[in-house]
Amino acid sequence: MQLLTLLSIPIIFVSSAFYFIISRPSNVYIFDPTVLHSLTHSALQVHGNNTAAVVSQLVSELSATHPKHVNLDEEWVFNNAGGAMGAMYIIHASLTEYLIIFGTALGTEGHTGRHTADDYFYILQGEELAYAPGVYEPERYPQGSVHHLKRGQVKQYKMDSGCFALEYARGWIPGMLFFGFADTFTSTLDFYTLWRTVWITGREMIGNLMIGKL
Ligand SMILES: *[C@@H]1O[C@H](CO)[C@@H](O)[C@H](O)[C@H]1NC(C)=O
């Protein structure tokens, strides 16, 4: 019991410190949801359904404005979370933000997870459907639209067929990771993918931390 009390002190301290930091956005966040939306619009206008070209334009524009914070290597890994399956390419990961390309060429469906961050899902190809309990009609997010899942909100989501999105999360990112990894232990047992995901995420988070990006 005393040990628990002792342990809770640093946990409360670290959480309050982070809550304080993330409640002052201008100091921490380097990406902007509105700017990301207009970047996806212009990339879609130029390249349409050529999603590989859309992704490559997005990443090169992000890297032009944030040269130190963008991973140019398209290191795709599978991600199983909340019962849904897709693949992702991590463009940026730090303690308070991540930016990935997420999607599937086949379609998938699952639980969004209840997160400690705001999540913006900019549809690049296909369509995403979502709904929250108590609603009888699905929300529809076609190509070019954005699905903003607020911190703490949960929905069921579905991609009927191929769908890819630029996903931006801002908030307390380590709090989201266990959701992102849990299906490995209860379902896929794909520890190689888990290892690669942890390696890439850790490398990006620590790399960013070392240049002063929380
Ligand atoms: C992109 O693909 C969708 C779905 O197949 C189609 O409805 C749309 O017309 C296509 N857009 C262009 C610009 O080809």
Output the residue whose Cα is nearest ligand 1's atom 13: 48
Average pLDDT, integer, range 189-209: 97
The answer, yes or no, to whether any atom of ligand 1 lies below 6 A from the CB of 48, is yes
Which pLDDT score is estimated for 25?
56
Taking 70 as the threshold, does the pLDDT of residue 13 lie above it? no
The answer, yes or no, to whether any atom of ligand 1 lies below 6 A from the CB of 49, is yes
Half-sphere exposure of 14 (CA within 13 A, CB side): 9
For ligand 1, the distance from its centroid to the CA atom of residue 191, given in whole angstroms, is: 37
Residue range 42-71, pLDDT digits in tens: 999 999 999 999 999 999 999 999 999 999
Q: Which of 51, 56, 165, 40 is nearest to 102 (CA)?
A: 165
For the record, the structure tokens of 156 come out as 């069921």
Taking 60 as the threshold, does the pLDDT of residue 181 lie above it? yes
Q: Which of 77, 69, 71 is nearest to 55 (CA)?
A: 71
Residue range 126-154, pLDDT digits in tens: 999 999 999 999 999 999 999 999 999 99
- Phi first, then psi, for residue 184 (nearest 5°) are -65, -40
Counting from 1 in the atom list of ligand 1, the atom nearest the Cα of 126 is 4
Distance between CA atoms of 192 and 151, rounded to whole angstroms? 30
Output the residue whose Cα is nearest ligand 1's atom 5: 126
The answer, yes or no, to whether any atom of ligand 1 lies below 6 A from the CB of 161, is no
Counting from 1 in the atom list of ligand 1, the atom nearest the Cα of 48 is 13
Model confidence at 15, pLDDT cuts 50, 70, 90, reads confident
Cβ pair 24, 91 in contact under 8 A: no
